[in-house]
Structure 1
Amino acid sequence: MKNLESLVISRRLRVPVEALEGSTPGWGEVAARQLDAALLSVGFTCSAELLDRLAKLPGEDVVDLGVRVLAAVRTLVGDHVQHNAYFIDFPANVPDTVEFWAGLMRKTMVGDTSADQVPTPTLDLLTLPGYGSYQHSYTDLLAAHAELIPLAGDRVTVLGLGGSLESEARELYFSLAGSETPLAAEDLVVLRGLALYCAGEPERIPVRENRAVVNEARLAAGRPLLVDTVTDVLRLACGASGGDVTLAESTRFRSFRRAERRALLAALDGVAGAARLGDVPRHREQWKRLGERLHPHEYPRFPRAAHVFEVARGTRRAAGLDSRVEAALGEGRAGDAVALLEKAPGALLRRLDHLLRIGHSASAVLDAAERAAGGASCRVLLSLREHLQNRLSPAAGRVFANRQGRAWAAADTRSPLEKEVLEQALTMLDEEITRRLPDPGELIVDPDVLGVALPLSGKAVAPGLGVLPRGSISAVEGELLRFFVHWRQAERRTDYDLSALMLNDSYGDAEHVSWTNHGNGFATYSGDLTQAARGASEFIDIRLADATRTIIIPQVDIYAGERFDEAAEAFFGYMSRETEQKGRPFEPRTVRMKSDLRGSGRVALPLVFLRDSDSDGEGDDEGERAGGWRVKWLHLYLKGHPGFNQVEGHRVTTSLLVRSIVERDYLGVRYLAGLLRAKSPSAGHTTYIGLEAPADLPPGSRIYTPGTLHELIPA
């Protein structure tokens, strides 16, 4: 698999080192120290174990490995590109917005003119000479800035010693394939490559999209398929055709080879019982198109497979569970609806809020939910737990987000649930979740990880450095906060704009910093770039001590050109540093978070910065303090306009969305840690949960960090 080593380094923060039998050690220790020094310049370092292992290798091998490791971590942190800035002295000497535009217009009006030029009745400010493109080289920018002064507070990420590349790849493969939560689109791509590279798979693959990706490799190798529903076969056919295994988008099916058609129809025939045909109408059109490629009439020995396509064409009737439940509810037969849903525990629990509001006996519904809890996945139980705990208090609004992170908000018009009913439901869920959690042994929890939200879905979260699930909260250190965006267009002129919306505690009194307003008393914009054939970077500098607003929302607007998922490259992140450090606009060792932009919306809302600790009720043990700042992850995208998006144009929508996320009580590590502590521990092993694994843990410890937190969610 291409770049497998780089993938392992960036995802696991471990360096695969092959055992070199018979090799002759040389100057490996010197080369290892040189590598460690180079890594420190971008905010990484080798663990003592890794340094010791590298020191025993030939120096030439260490150098070759070091080049690859350094390239991998530089890409991870965003230092693989040159981050120039429009104003060479940024954040110093940035002109006032009006002064800047007046200067450009003055140069245009008094500059050289020719007889061929014809005055136009209107003036397009964005086409003024000198606007929107770099006026100096990256070398000039470096010469204009003093070196960064290293401080103890700078980020230092430890790279651990890994095993062989094969073993590391297999571990990553098993972690992704066996995840209890849906994966991000990038992780599905990684899983697809690893499935072709690695032999075997986990005993249990609970997420249907993951199973489809693994089945692609099994289909290509002629191995038996892992399917138990008709939709599993449809997902596999979509994935094998290069389409969407989530079924969110239509797929243009390819022509399958005869052996592939036979395998797909055989799998379909094995699961297409009468009770399963009710799932077909949900994806009727895709089934009809797949039938045109599989030719089921040529395989009379698979009659039940043919029934699937008959249902899709409407020549055979099959009522799905959802339609029967809706019919019962529509006729006022709530008891019958509950009885039907008990056959699908997950579906019953997802509808629990609705069932408790339709007037049916609450005790009967809770009894059915308790019976269903034992047969539902733990992810469903945790999602329901988070949902119900937020029903205890009224919300500012409801946020809806699709698989791509596209979000919208609506007023909460649901009738309230009785507090006693909610408490009974929460107690039932806590007991079932606790029962499924593993014995933690000696439990060690880093206080800094308590505010991290459980990764109940990773679909909208692009992997990267320091990225946490939506709803996670962590402390912000440093006196200066600097956002950055970098993009490179693929085919056509593309203009992204980095902006920041700033609000007070009541989400009002708005002001902004962007290309239309270069700064205020505490924030400074680096200048607007309107094309990125070779890449472009924009920055916003925030002096936190001087901030007159308590809520700061960075965002990236697409003004013109390619979408985030169409650009050759697009990523966002933030840095924090102290005032005396100076340095270039982009300093990799001060980067705290960096991830790709790839949502389908035209406005990206990666995260929000909050001052004070009262906005969501978290405890003091997460590094919060009066007047301090925290960051809460959003991972949201607004639809926006086809072009010319500006921060001023969607202020109300952004404010409502962010408020709904900030005020929502997300289920986090704090909750699971409390349940784990309530279990009776046994001696013999240690469980550690933290942002990074310390070096002094006992051998055989179970370690959970943000990159592997999904493994903590039980089956």
Structure 2
Amino acid sequence: MAHPLESLVLRHTHRLVSPDGPAGEGAGAARQFDAALTSVGFKLSTELLERLSGLSESVVLDTARQTLSTVSEMVGAHVRHNTYFIDFPANVPDTEDFWARCVAEALADDDSRENVLTQLTRGALNLLSLPTYGRYQHTYEEMLAAQDELIASAGDRVTVLHLGRDLDHELTDLYLSLAGSTTPLGEDDLRDLGTLAEWCVLGPQPETIPVRENRAVVNEARLTVGEDLLLDTVTDVLRLACALSGGDVTLQEPTRFRTLPRPLRRALLAGLDAVIAANPAKLADVNRHREPFKRLGERLHPHEYPRWPHAADVFAVARGEKQARSFDSLLEEHLNAYDVLGAVELLKSAPGKLFRALDLLLRTAADQRERDAVVDAAVRVAPDVSGRVVLSVREHLHNRARETGEPRIFVNRRGRAWVTPDARRPVPAADRDRLITALDTEIRRRLPAPDRLLIDPEILDVALPLTGRATTAGLGVLPRGSTSAVDGKRLRFFVYWKQTEERTDYDLSALLLRADYSTDGWLSYTNLTAVGGKHSGDITEAPDGATEFIELSLDRVRGTFIVPQVNIFAGERFEEVEESFFGFMLREPEQKGRPFEPRTVRMKSDLRGAGRVALPLVFQRGEDKQWRAKWLHLYLTGTPSANRVEENQVSVSKLVRALVERDQLTVRHLLDLMPVAPANVTRCTGAWTPPPDPVTYIGLEPLEGLHPDSHIITLKNLRDLIPD
């Protein structure tokens, strides 16, 4: 049997762990496996097909079962996608006609007639009281029988699965990549890192673990096997305590600390004591998280361990019994006195904080002498700032060139977004340009200089993943702010959800905006046929799972923007349902096919954000008349119930405008800075033969035929492109 961790490797790398087993005549089974994969939009690489063909049939079939299960879940084909209207997108009725039909059927039903008549006499009608509204009126099998078969198209998605190494090597490589990431991981990747750490904690380790959330997850595994902990600050210990209690290692959500066994309590107290003994000034870090430290102290009982007095000091500071002046309070003192030069001098000892305060310092500076001091200090400390922060500030400064008063968007770690007018004073153009030039120079210094660089042009407009929280788990998902081409005449998107306990009603809608972001129309359960599109029908409960679809003929859409959204009308939040995900498909008119065809799915992403209105992406028609997707991964707070596209169109429009008009740093920007001769750069377009020597390849998906020693960067490890 295949190891359960092989599916984790497949999800992250699109590689199959090298199948192991007796040799045999597996060619026929391997071809059948490849054909089955094609039906869900995947295929075996030539190398992998050859490897499977030389194994026994039983090994191939075992590999096929687990692989098909994993890739089906990746694309959303592991569940049944039914539609309310059995032959959607054909024969979708007008909304009023459909409602009238439901009322007529209710009046013809002895059980519902009296209730419906009573409501009608009162002048209002609850659609949910109609027996045929909001619930499937046919089985999944009946829906399939009413649909034509999909006609294959050259434009259908094909994701190639490649041959990997043995399980230990694949797990170690993936662990080193995730643990050593220079950017924070998303929730799913962080959870997978925890699983990998348990397996790999005694093996090779990354040289550094720069992201502290990653360090907490790794420390939890190290603690379990008795390895030394990786601790630099008291906050590292706090994050580890959160991990041990099943809480949030990012410290964004409060953790309810568990009662820990004595060995774990001793390990945490010893860690705190060692950190403060090595550098007493780090007591000041307690002030940032006083409440969590107070609650942790109640669980650790530091008074029972007098041999660790420095640990006791940590909790004394948290309780206010001991003073420890924080760095931030010293900085605030300078800023409140408009002492920019003093603030700069202080911040030189904290380069990352200096970079994050650059905009404020330049706006606070009284004259050019002070602004020069700010810029000079930033240039001087730039080599000591993480690459992620350098790139973030570079992107920020570029967007500061926009006029004051333009919308400013804020997005928290959980995707919650809001917009406000930008009331800040502008940063002087000369100082901004000096900083941008200096930051590009610093970035160029850190980038590698490959002998031969191969580039997939489709990755050039992908936004740099400066945080893993700017994306979600799924297939074909790009970081927030990325753009990608939309090739196809029919756009169909979908939402699937399955409730956990209470009745849950999600509503898929589409808001259409004009070029000035004003509303042109919408599609929803209240508007089933409009603006060149059709809605598959309202489903109001999902005990066994439910799906809603919207299809648009792109050549009939009048507006400039199509904004899909998922509204929670009633029931469980995105984080409470058993499962929920969004995706979109592209088809040509002649393809026909079922409502959900896995090989036409271009993107499928989990819905797990905080908020009751999800905005996964926006489709925009450019001046060249071509449609492109821009990735949002945003959530609106919404209302506790009855969220509808009609009610949130203004706030959605503001969010879309703020993100669409913001320029993101993309892969193109880094490649333009990369110190490699133009003659050694090749764009992989059309018919193309891989070179025989090792290369650096950067693209959406791995290429077949590359030398095994090539350095390959794809969407799955794009974070590796961010310099240290």
1:11 maps to 2:9: no
Structure 1 CA distance for aligned equivalents of residues 346 and 3 of structure 2: 48
Gaps of 5+ in 2: 682-692
1:270 maps to 2:280: no
- Deviation, 1:492, is 0.7
- Residue 630 of structure 2 corresponds to which residue in structure 1? 632
Superposed CA offset, 1:420-445 (max 9, x none): 11110001101111111122221111
Superposed CA offset, 1:660-686 (max 9, x none): 111111001000101114579999842
Structure 1 CA distance for aligned equivalents of residues 380 and 307 of structure 2: 40
- Residue 58 of structure 2 corresponds to which residue in structure 1? 60
- Residue 658 of structure 1 corresponds to which residue in structure 2? 656
- Residue 440 of structure 1 contacts residue 681 of structure 1 at CA under 8 Å; is this kept in 2? no
Superposed CA offset, 1:501-556 (max 9, x none): 00011001331100010021411100000000000000000100111111000000
- Residue 445 of structure 1 contacts residue 673 of structure 1 at CA under 8 Å; is this kept in 2? no
- Deviation, 1:111, is 3.6
Determine helix, strand or coil for the equivalent of 2:67: helix
- Residue 623 of structure 1 corresponds to which residue in structure 2? none
Counterpart residue type for residue 520 of structure 1: A
Determine helix, strand or coil for the equivalent of 2:580: strand
- 1:114/1:498 Cα in 2 relative to 1: closer, same or farther (>3 Å)? closer
- Residue 449 of structure 2 contacts residue 675 of structure 2 at CA under 8 Å; is this kept in 1? no
Determine helix, strand or coil for the equivalent of 2:468: coil
Determine helix, strand or coil for the equivalent of 1:275: helix
Determine helix, strand or coil for the equivalent of 2:477: coil
Instruction: Give the alignment's TM-score, normalised by structure 2.
Output: 0.94
- Residue 338 of structure 1 corresponds to which residue in structure 2? 344
- Deviation, 1:167, is 1.5
Larger deviation, residues 392-401 vs 58-67: 392-401
C-alpha RMSD of the superposition: 1.7
- Residue 522 of structure 2 contacts residue 531 of structure 2 at CA under 8 Å; is this kept in 1? no
Structure 1 CA distance for aligned equivalents of residues 498 and 284 of structure 2: 46
Larger deviation, residues 674-683 vs 687-696: 674-683
- Residue 622 of structure 1 corresponds to which residue in structure 2? none
- Residue 450 of structure 2 contacts residue 676 of structure 2 at CA under 8 Å; is this kept in 1? no
What is the aligned counterpart of 1:599 among 587, 591, 609?
Answer: 609
- Deviation, 1:460, is 4.1
Larger deviation, residues 194-203 vs 303-312: 194-203
Structure 1 CA distance for aligned equivalents of residues 167 and 694 of structure 2: 27
Structure 1 CA distance for aligned equivalents of residues 620 and 518 of structure 2: 14
- Residue 457 of structure 1 corresponds to which residue in structure 2? 467
Structure 2 CA distance for aligned equivalents of residues 267 and 465 of structure 1: 40
Counterpart residue type for residue 692 of structure 1: E
What is the aligned counterpart of 1:375 among 347, 367, 384?
Answer: 384
Structure 2 CA distance for aligned equivalents of residues 527 and 538 of structure 1: 7
What is the aligned counterpart of 1:415 among 396, 419, 425?
Answer: 425
1:555 maps to 2:565: yes
- Residue 707 of structure 1 corresponds to which residue in structure 2? 716
Counterpart residue type for residue 694 of structure 1: L
Counterpart residue type for residue 183 of structure 2: T
- 1:365/1:284 Cα in 2 relative to 1: closer, same or farther (>3 Å)? same
1:328 maps to 2:334: yes
Determine helix, strand or coil for the equivalent of 1:119: helix
- Deviation, 1:332, is 2.0
- Residue 443 of structure 1 contacts residue 686 of structure 1 at CA under 8 Å; is this kept in 2? yes
Structure 2 CA distance for aligned equivalents of residues 252 and 539 of structure 1: 40
- Residue 619 of structure 1 corresponds to which residue in structure 2? none
Determine helix, strand or coil for the equivalent of 2:257: coil
- Deviation, 1:377, is 0.4
TM alignment of 1:498-509, pairs within 5 A: 498-509=508-519
Counterpart residue type for residue 534 of structure 2: T
- Residue 397 of structure 2 corresponds to which residue in structure 1? 388
Structure 1 CA distance for aligned equivalents of residues 662 and 635 of structure 2: 18
Counterpart residue type for residue 527 of structure 2: N
Structure 1 CA distance for aligned equivalents of residues 529 and 608 of structure 2: 28
- 1:151/1:334 Cα in 2 relative to 1: closer, same or farther (>3 Å)? same
Determine helix, strand or coil for the equivalent of 1:282: helix
1:404 maps to 2:421: no
- Residue 6 of structure 1 contacts residue 72 of structure 1 at CA under 8 Å; is this kept in 2? yes
Determine helix, strand or coil for the equivalent of 1:379: helix
- Residue 219 of structure 2 corresponds to which residue in structure 1? 215
- Residue 297 of structure 1 corresponds to which residue in structure 2? 303
Structure 1 CA distance for aligned equivalents of residues 42 and 519 of structure 2: 41
Larger deviation, residues 695-704 vs 45-54: 695-704
Structure 2 CA distance for aligned equivalents of residues 451 and 470 of structure 1: 11
1:225 maps to 2:229: yes
- Residue 439 of structure 1 contacts residue 682 of structure 1 at CA under 8 Å; is this kept in 2? no
- Deviation, 1:696, is 2.6
Superposed CA offset, 1:239-297 (max 9, x none): 11111100111111112222212211111112123321111111111101111111112
- Residue 616 of structure 2 contacts residue 634 of structure 2 at CA under 8 Å; is this kept in 1? yes
Determine helix, strand or coil for the equivalent of 1:553: strand
Counterpart residue type for residue 164 of structure 1: D
Determine helix, strand or coil for the equivalent of 2:172: helix
Structure 1 CA distance for aligned equivalents of residues 292 and 231 of structure 2: 18
Structure 2 CA distance for aligned equivalents of residues 552 and 585 of structure 1: 20
Counterpart residue type for residue 188 of structure 1: L
Counterpart residue type for residue 211 of structure 2: V
- Deviation, 1:195, is 0.6
- Residue 578 of structure 1 corresponds to which residue in structure 2? 588
- Residue 439 of structure 1 contacts residue 680 of structure 1 at CA under 8 Å; is this kept in 2? no
- Residue 621 of structure 1 corresponds to which residue in structure 2? none
Structure 1 CA distance for aligned equivalents of residues 586 and 35 of structure 2: 22
Structure 2 CA distance for aligned equivalents of residues 115 and 207 of structure 1: 63
- Residue 106 of structure 2 corresponds to which residue in structure 1? 108
- Residue 259 of structure 2 corresponds to which residue in structure 1? 255
- Residue 534 of structure 1 corresponds to which residue in structure 2? 544
1:510 maps to 2:526: no
1:73 maps to 2:75: no
- 1:155/1:318 Cα in 2 relative to 1: closer, same or farther (>3 Å)? same
Determine helix, strand or coil for the equivalent of 1:105: helix
- Residue 338 of structure 2 contacts residue 364 of structure 2 at CA under 8 Å; is this kept in 1? no
Structure 2 CA distance for aligned equivalents of residues 338 and 511 of structure 1: 52
Structure 2 CA distance for aligned equivalents of residues 113 and 172 of structure 1: 59
Determine helix, strand or coil for the equivalent of 2:118: coil
Counterpart residue type for residue 249 of structure 1: E
Counterpart residue type for residue 158 of structure 2: V
Structure 2 CA distance for aligned equivalents of residues 196 and 353 of structure 1: 42
Determine helix, strand or coil for the equivalent of 2:415: coil
- 1:109/1:303 Cα in 2 relative to 1: closer, same or farther (>3 Å)? same
- Deviation, 1:354, is 0.7
Determine helix, strand or coil for the equivalent of 1:160: strand
- 1:2/1:555 Cα in 2 relative to 1: closer, same or farther (>3 Å)? farther
Determine helix, strand or coil for the equivalent of 2:448: coil
- Residue 479 of structure 2 corresponds to which residue in structure 1? 469
- Residue 92 of structure 2 contacts residue 528 of structure 2 at CA under 8 Å; is this kept in 1? yes
- Residue 19 of structure 2 contacts residue 52 of structure 2 at CA under 8 Å; is this kept in 1? no
Structure 2 CA distance for aligned equivalents of residues 605 and 15 of structure 1: 33
- Residue 445 of structure 2 corresponds to which residue in structure 1? 435
Superposed CA offset, 1:155-179 (max 9, x none): 0000000111222111111111111
Determine helix, strand or coil for the equivalent of 1:510: strand
What is the aligned counterpart of 2:84 among 83, 86, 91?
Answer: 86
- Deviation, 1:4, is 1.3
Superposed CA offset, 1:61-95 (max 9, x none): 10111011111101000000110000001111000
What is the aligned counterpart of 2:598 among 585, 588, 601?
Answer: 588
Give the number of equivalent residue pairs. 700
Determine helix, strand or coil for the equivalent of 1:459: helix
Determine helix, strand or coil for the equivalent of 2:519: coil
Larger deviation, residues 438-447 vs 665-674: 438-447
Counterpart residue type for residue 185 of structure 1: E
Determine helix, strand or coil for the equivalent of 1:632: strand
Structure 2 CA distance for aligned equivalents of residues 115 and 451 of structure 1: 58
- Residue 558 of structure 1 contacts residue 603 of structure 1 at CA under 8 Å; is this kept in 2? yes
- Deviation, 1:578, is 0.3
Structure 2 CA distance for aligned equivalents of residues 261 and 598 of structure 1: 33
- Residue 684 of structure 2 corresponds to which residue in structure 1? none
Larger deviation, residues 311-320 vs 678-687: 678-687
